[in-house]
Structure 1
Amino acid sequence: MDEGKKNIYDVYTLHLVRWKLDLFDSVQKNVMDGVLKLVEKQRNGETIETAMVKSIVDSFVSLGLDENDSSKSTLDVYREFFEKPFLEITNVYYQLESKQFVAENSVVEYMKKAETRLSEEEGRVHVYLHPDIMIPLMKTCQRVLIQEHKTLLHDEFQVLLNNDRQDDLKRMYNLLSRITEGLEPLRTKFEAHVRKAGLEAIEKVANENADDNLEPKVYVDALLEVHEKYSSLVKIAFKEDTEFVRSLDNACREFVNRNKVCKAASSKSPELLAKYADSLLKKSAKAAEEADLESKLDSIMTVFKYVEDKDVFQKFYSRMLAKRLVHATSASDDAETSMIGKLKDACGFEYTNKLQRMFQDMQISKDLNDSYKEWMNNTLDEESLKTAVDFSIQVLGTSFWPLTPPNTPFNIPQVITKTYDRFQTFYFQKHSGRKLNWLWHLCKGDVKATFAKSSKVPFTFHVSTYQMAILLMFNDATSYTYEDIESTTSLSRDYLDPSLGVFIKAKVLNIEPASSKVGPGTTLTLNTDFKSKKIRVNLNMAVRAEQKQETEDTHKTIEEDRKLLMQSAIVRIMKSRKKLKHAVLVLETIAQIKSRFTPKVPDIKKCIDILLEKEYLERLDGDRLGYLA
């Protein structure tokens, strides 16, 4: 037998050929009408004999003979006489049903219906239709059930968002993801909705709290609550679709950086975020458990991701870290290290370099204290050692610590002068050529007080060095005028008045005239009737005015650093490019430093002018700039 030749067949194939030529053409329409009626019955909820339909489908498929090669088969007959009419009738059926259903039911109910119908049609393919029909059948159903009603679905999206209908939003996403450009209007509405929700949440906390009294935790929690809610929605309803994730990120970036709280100062978000981090990392009665603390630090990084002015966060964070280290108020070294690691992962080594060097200085200082004690033991006689003040020191590198020397003169109390001189001698023997700047405003100590009649046990006052200098004066007299104290300590009134204010508030000192404000013309007297439930009394408390001044100083430093950063970026770009148009240089400068903060175009132009004056750059023809080596 010759196989594969035109018009030469085996017996079975010959029967199929004769069946197609003699009978099929005359009966196929009636057969197909019967099949379509059966399918319609099933779509209407009736039970049919699916095996019979499958055998008919198989029959259509088996008639697909290749006229040029009898050993091969095609789906031409099946597609022409079964698939085509099946798709046409499916289109008509669902057009009628969907229009009628939409007119009588809610959009949510329609989505459920469409979801069910699509699932049923997929099931038909698996049970009795040929696999070849799956793609065209789904396209037909999706066009009729989804594409032709997409405007209706898009309009309903906002209603579902407003009412937190997560399951229905998931259903809508699944339907619209089946058609081209079905999701784009949803993403746009989702981004606007999240941005609005974030702005409203911040407006609410801003209205409930004055700017100066806004708790960092309250602010950050409000940001996180909105992010967590819609992040969960993206994960569950939108299958972590990258475009919806991008929309969420865009919205969060907007309400984190531009909200009612930020109107007063655009850098408020990073400042409050740094202060919240400080509250978590500082020792307190409410200190979080280690696992809980780690989770909260991760939450801080969630908000940090959206902060545009990352340099502001860095400045405030480094100042607060410095205080935690200097005053030994860190809740956990591991937590501090973990947070720095997170910041390093987010922004790179340069961002955290100074923070890590601060930790190194603390370790060096521990070793230095041990060396100093050893030196004392080898240098001082027994009597001098007995009378020596218990003392520890921290020597901090100027380049790495965001600490500035105090802007007030200060007469060191006689009691600690010996200690001061001894350490200077020890240190300069060890490190000749170095200079020590004493940060008296950060020094503190304990003073034993035996003046109170109410207690046989001496009180221990924990005080700043400035407060110590004031208290030690009362070893020689029980009363001093304001002018006496000012003269003896040499402290400026910006430092003297808050220190005296704490003593008066704690009733360690009495002021005369009574109820008067601390200042010239007043007299301060030791209160021998002083009482306290605690033997150890902390009087070294930050004064609000000092905190406000620190914040202002930090912002000034940020502005100065930004100018230098912009100038450095401009010089780097011009050194590399040699010549550039003014507008191009501005754009490239923004691109280089936007990871740290978003520079304003007028500020960049000012920096360009400064560099022109300094002759780093020169003006060329046609609005171009040149680099001067």
Structure 2
Amino acid sequence: MKNDPGRRSAQSDPTSSPPDRKRKRPDKQAPAQDSSKQQTLHFSNSKRLKPDQPARPSTPPKKLARNEMYTFSSRSPAANGNGVIDLTNGTPPSSPQARRVNGAFKGRSGINPHTGAKKLVVKNLKTNTDWDSKAYLEKIWGQLDAALVVILKDGQDGFSKEDLYRGVENVCRQGGASTLFSRLENRCRQHVERDVREPVLEKSSSDNIAVLKAVLAEWARWKEQMTTIRAIFFFLDRSYLLSSSKPTLAELTPQLFRETVFSHSALKPKIIDGACDLVTADRTQQQKLDPSLFQQAVDMFHELQTYTATFEPRFLGVTQQYVDEWSERMIGEKSVPEYVALAEDFISKEMARCEQFALDASTRRDLLALLEDHLVARKEADLTDYEALASVLDNNAMSDLTALYALLNRRRLGSKLRPAFVKWVDETGTSIVFSKDEDSMIIHLLSLKRRLDLTWRTAFQRDEALGHGLRETFETFMNKTKKGDATWGTDNTKVGEMIAKYVDQLLRGGARAIPEVLTMRRSSSITAPPKAVALPTAAEAEENNEDDDMDEDTEINIQLDQVLDLFRFVHGKAVFEAFYKKDLARRLLMGRSASADAERSMLARLKTECGAGFTQNLEQMFKDVELAREEMQSYKQRLEDRVGFEKGRNVDLSVNILSAAAWPSYPDIPVVIPANIKRSIDDFELHYKSKHSGRKLDWKHALAHCQMKANFGKGSKELVVSSFQAVVLLLFNGMGIDEKVPYAHILSESGLPEAEVKRTLQSLACAKLRPLTKHPKGKDINTTDTFSINTSFEHPKYRVKINQVQLKETKEENKETHIRVAEDRNFECQAAIVRIMKARKTIAHSELVAETIKSTISRGVLALSDIKKNIDRLIEKDYMEREDGNMYAYVA
């Protein structure tokens, strides 16, 4: 019908669409619809109609055209009785024309627009087709099945992939995708069960590796076949399988193989064990691992999605069993350093294998945890055993210590070395402290300390627990005391005395007095323990330093810092103070310090470490030397200005005025002073008393030294000797070459005690430098010996030092110092007890002992028995009294 601009239709204009055209391709044709079905459309009568709309033709043609398909009857809805307008009726009704009457629509035939929606029935006008999709599917499947037979036999000829692909596409478009996939799946499953699994099952009785190889070969063949099949069925995969719950062809490939071949009870264990056997053979070095075969196995496990569920647990289980047996065997057969090296190599190889074959991160993590647990954690007791660690420390095997700590620290067990390490340090240090070789004690302690510090920094990676253990152990064994001949039956620590003597050696000899094992110039001084220490004497060091212009301040300062590290561990600093004070006095009085800067540097270190009270007397000693120098300048100026100065009294006298409180006490030793020396001494005493009234001078001739000229057969020399040596040598003035002086004559003329005479003669006739000759020859001085001038005495230098006897400490002096320090410590202990009692008034015995030790620890620790003796002495002196309950009360 014609379009009316005033009429509205419920659907698009049918005249605007072209007539139906039949599709040429059968796969594009839609399936035939049932012509008996009707479609119902609903229209609303609420739309306005124009009253002048023309009527439709009364008689339709025999076959309706598209533009005449829909007609409306002029009958009212009530005519059919059900309000349905049949558009297929052959007699088209005339279209109603609505008029607006009094504001409402009313058609010519009396149609009321407000009666509700009308029901429109449209019958299907499309004709049925003769196309049979089922027959087409069977035809295409026949072609596909024939091609599958060729493909599954590894063939590539006899079919066209393009034609097969188009056939699959047509079938899918006609709704046969589900049927096509079912047939394909069944066909592939039959192939895998019959042609893939059966040949492998025939080899199941072979070894695991042979079965693994057969399965890998079939898996590679199956993947290649499915690659071709996927290309043919690509449209099925993309258009149907992706949007359905069924597996895609990429998923079907491993699924069929996994369910049919891999999961078979006779094959699955052998496949997994075959891969594990490859690794085990490589571990035991029975057969080198085939990288390609193992990599194919790992890739297959990943592709079949069985890696985590099957291979990984079995691989870890086999590894655990092997590592457990291997570690037990190795720890029993090998030493700890050898076991550590083998364990580290084993772990590195296992991790390298994981990296090489790209095993999962979970496998690497669990494998590493397993290895560390069996190789480290379960062998903790063996790795931290004292005997094992002591052997490594004795050999100073730094690389072995580093490897041992690194292996233990994989499980944060490095600090577990502390008990064995501390025990070794304590035993080694104690053996050094109580060794009979006292002269090299500090050398060994310094070498041990440097070596252990290096071990802690490098091998033990600055482990905090081991560092604390090292310092605490040094403090323990260095303060161990033992009453014996070395300390003259006192509780004094020998370490304090030897530290003071080593510092004296450094300050007298300079850098040349430092043993080679401790010098910074020697690269091996840190790593090599001193087995045989050759110590240069102070005299040799002094002689070498006379012509040595090398800047030695840095070397000496380094050594002083190291000595101070040991000094910090010492509790009994009173022993060090006493011996250091005595040695400092000798160096200052005899001018034997190698460096004044080094002397003051050491004094500053002691002041920083121990406080000003510790160094008060030492500083006063330096001040006395400076004041004495000024006093001598004043005296010499007076001599030069004196009128009538006698030529025979021009002895170059040098005197040191010392304050008795600051300096050590020295005994008065009788000696016959030569007349000219006596006159000079008396003259200086008059000069001093004229300036300082009320002061008394006590002359300590044992500390004096002088320079005298001597003529020998090979030339004249200037000898630096002590005052006692000078008195003895003067007895040989004017004597002939062959004349001999008996021992008794020297004893009577010198006025010295017999012990000093023997000591002096031994230094002149039995030492390295011998201006006198002893008859008969020997090391000991006897009363029957005689002495003469050594006419063959020679020395490359004009000025020769022979007075080393003054610098050597006698046994009597050493005993006196130790006993005095012990007595002073007893007095300090009693003073500490009185202070504590005065503050507490009443206190228990245990508390008093603890407070006393805490108060006196910086000066030295007394034994509990000595503290009890001091308490008893104070009770006898009525400073305190005992009360019930093991209590003490202070007596005001």
Q: What is the aligned partner in structure 1 of residue 869 from structure 2?
A: 606
Q: 1:264 to 1:387 in 2, by over 3 A?
A: closer
State the shift of 1:463 in Å: 3.5
Query: Which amino acid in structure 1 is aligned with residue 660 of structure 2?
Result: T
The answer on whether the counterparts of 1:442 and 1:464 sit within 8 Å (CA) in structure 2 is: yes
**477, 480, 502: which one aligns with 1:276:** 502
Q: What is the aligned partner in structure 1 of residue 815 from structure 2?
A: 552
State the shift of 1:315 in Å: 1.8
The answer on whether the counterparts of 1:500 and 1:518 sit within 8 Å (CA) in structure 2 is: no
TM alignment of 1:87-126, pairs within 5 A: 95-96=320-321, 98-103=323-328, 107-108=339-340, 111-112=343-344, 116=348
Aligned with 1:418: secondary structure? helix
**821, 846, 857: which one aligns with 1:583:** 846
Q: 1:626 to 1:277 in 2, by over 3 A?
A: same
Q: 1:427 to 1:110 in 2, by over 3 A?
A: same
TM alignment of 1:205-604, pairs within 5 A: 211=436, 214=437, 216=439, 218-253=440-475, 256=478, 264-265=486-487, 267-283=493-509, 284-287=542-545, 290=552, 291-378=554-641, 380-384=642-646, 387-402=649-664, 404-449=665-710, 454=713, 460-470=718-728, 490-500=751-761, 502=763, 506=770, 508=772, 519=783, 527=788, 530-534=791-795, 536=799, 538-542=801-805, 547-604=810-867
Query: Which amino acid in structure 2 is aligned with residue 394 of structure 1?
Result: N
Query: Which amino acid in structure 2 is aligned with residue 319 of structure 1?
Result: K
Query: Which amino acid in structure 1 is aligned with residue 753 of structure 2?
Result: S
State the shift of 1:423 in Å: 2.1
Q: What is the aligned partner in structure 2 of residue 8 from structure 1?
A: none
State the shift of 1:228 in Å: 3.0
Query: Which amino acid in structure 2 is aligned with residue 150 of structure 1?
Result: E
Aligned with 1:463: secondary structure? strand
Q: 1:577 to 1:140 in 2, by over 3 A?
A: farther
State the shift of 1:384 in Å: 3.6
Instruction: Give the Cα–Cα distance (whole angstroms) in 2 for the partners of residues 425 and 477 of structure 1.
Output: 35
**Greater RCO, CA 8 A, separation 6+:** 1
Instruction: Pick which of 110-119 and 367-376 moved more.
Output: 110-119
The gaps in structure 2 that reach 5 residues or longer are: 1-242, 264-271, 280-290, 510-541
Q: 1:431 to 1:108 in 2, by over 3 A?
A: same
Aligned with 1:408: secondary structure? coil
Query: Which amino acid in structure 1 is aligned with residue 454 of structure 2?
Result: S
Instruction: Pick which of 152-161 and 578-587 moved more.
Output: 152-161
- Encode CA deviations 1:38-72: one digit per residue, 9 max, x unaligned: xx99x978669999x99xxxxxxxxxxxxxxxxxx
**178, 195, 210: which one aligns with 2:426:** 195
Q: 1:152 to 1:473 in 2, by over 3 A?
A: closer
Instruction: Give the Cα–Cα distance (whole angstroms) in 1 for the partners of residues 850 and 801 of structure 2.
Output: 53
The answer on whether the counterparts of 2:761 and 2:781 sit within 8 Å (CA) in structure 1 is: no
Q: 1:201 to 1:516 in 2, by over 3 A?
A: closer
The answer on whether the counterparts of 1:376 and 1:385 sit within 8 Å (CA) in structure 2 is: no
State the shift of 1:243 in Å: 1.6
Instruction: Give the Cα–Cα distance (whole angstroms) in 1 for the partners of residues 375 and 781 of structure 2.
Output: 79
State the shift of 1:330 in Å: 0.9
State the shift of 1:327 in Å: 0.7
State the shift of 1:600 in Å: 0.8
Query: Which amino acid in structure 2 is aligned with residue 328 of structure 1?
Result: G
Q: 1:255 to 1:528 in 2, by over 3 A?
A: closer
Point out the structure with max Rg over C-alpha: 2
The answer on whether the counterparts of 2:372 and 2:410 sit within 8 Å (CA) in structure 1 is: yes
The answer on whether the counterparts of 2:405 and 2:460 sit within 8 Å (CA) in structure 1 is: yes
Instruction: Give the Cα–Cα distance (whole angstroms) in 2 for the partners of residues 316 and 567 of structure 1.
Output: 23
TM alignment of 1:53-92, pairs within 5 A: none
The answer on whether the counterparts of 1:344 and 1:351 sit within 8 Å (CA) in structure 2 is: yes
The reply to whether residue 176 of structure 1 matches residue 408 of structure 2 is yes
State the shift of 1:114 in Å: 7.4
- Encode CA deviations 1:215-234: one digit per residue, 9 max, x unaligned: 72x33333333333333222
Query: Which amino acid in structure 1 is aligned with residue 471 of structure 2?
Result: D
Aligned with 1:619: secondary structure? strand
Query: Which amino acid in structure 1 is aligned with residue 690 of structure 2?
Result: Q
State the shift of 1:149 in Å: 4.4
- Encode CA deviations 1:366-402: one digit per residue, 9 max, x unaligned: 2222222233334x21534773321111112222222
Query: Which amino acid in structure 2 is aligned with residue 102 of structure 1?
Result: S
Q: 1:424 to 1:347 in 2, by over 3 A?
A: same
Q: 1:145 to 1:458 in 2, by over 3 A?
A: closer
Q: What is the aligned partner in structure 1 of residue 377 from structure 2?
A: 147
Instruction: Give the Cα–Cα distance (whole angstroms) in 1 for the partners of residues 721 and 430 of structure 2.
Output: 43
Instruction: Give the Cα–Cα distance (whole angstroms) in 2 for the partners of residues 547 and 224 of structure 1.
Output: 26
The answer on whether the counterparts of 1:282 and 1:330 sit within 8 Å (CA) in structure 2 is: yes
- Encode CA deviations 1:293-337: one digit per residue, 9 max, x unaligned: 333333333443444543222222221121111111111112222
Aligned residue pairs total 560
Instruction: Give the Cα–Cα distance (whole angstroms) in 2 for the partners of residues 409 and 370 of structure 1.
Output: 29
Aligned with 2:634: secondary structure? helix
- Encode CA deviations 1:258-290: one digit per residue, 9 max, x unaligned: 699988546433333332322222141345951
Q: Point out the structure with the larger helix share.
A: 1
The answer on whether the counterparts of 1:101 and 1:110 sit within 8 Å (CA) in structure 2 is: no
The answer on whether the counterparts of 1:202 and 1:259 sit within 8 Å (CA) in structure 2 is: no
Aligned with 1:349: secondary structure? coil
The answer on whether the counterparts of 2:773 and 2:790 sit within 8 Å (CA) in structure 1 is: no
Query: Which amino acid in structure 2 is aligned with residue 462 of structure 1?
Result: V
For the aligned residues, what is the CA RMSD? 5.2
Q: 1:143 to 1:345 in 2, by over 3 A?
A: farther
Instruction: Give the Cα–Cα distance (whole angstroms) in 2 for the partners of residues 509 and 623 of structure 1.
Output: 69
Instruction: Pick which of 369-378 and 393-402 moved more.
Output: 369-378
Instruction: Pick which of 552-561 and 223-232 moved more.
Output: 223-232
State the shift of 1:360 in Å: 2.2
Q: 1:236 to 1:475 in 2, by over 3 A?
A: closer
Query: Which amino acid in structure 2 is aligned with residue 440 of structure 1?
Result: H
- Encode CA deviations 1:560-582: one digit per residue, 9 max, x unaligned: 22222222222232233232212
Instruction: Give the Cα–Cα distance (whole angstroms) in 1 for the partners of residues 614 and 314 of structure 2.
Output: 66
TM-score after normalising by structure 1? 0.71
Q: What is the aligned partner in structure 1 of residue 287 from structure 2?
A: none
- Encode CA deviations 1:439-475: one digit per residue, 9 max, x unaligned: 111012234457x6x47x7654433333444555677
Aligned with 2:645: secondary structure? helix
State the shift of 1:22 in Å: 13
Aligned with 1:383: secondary structure? coil
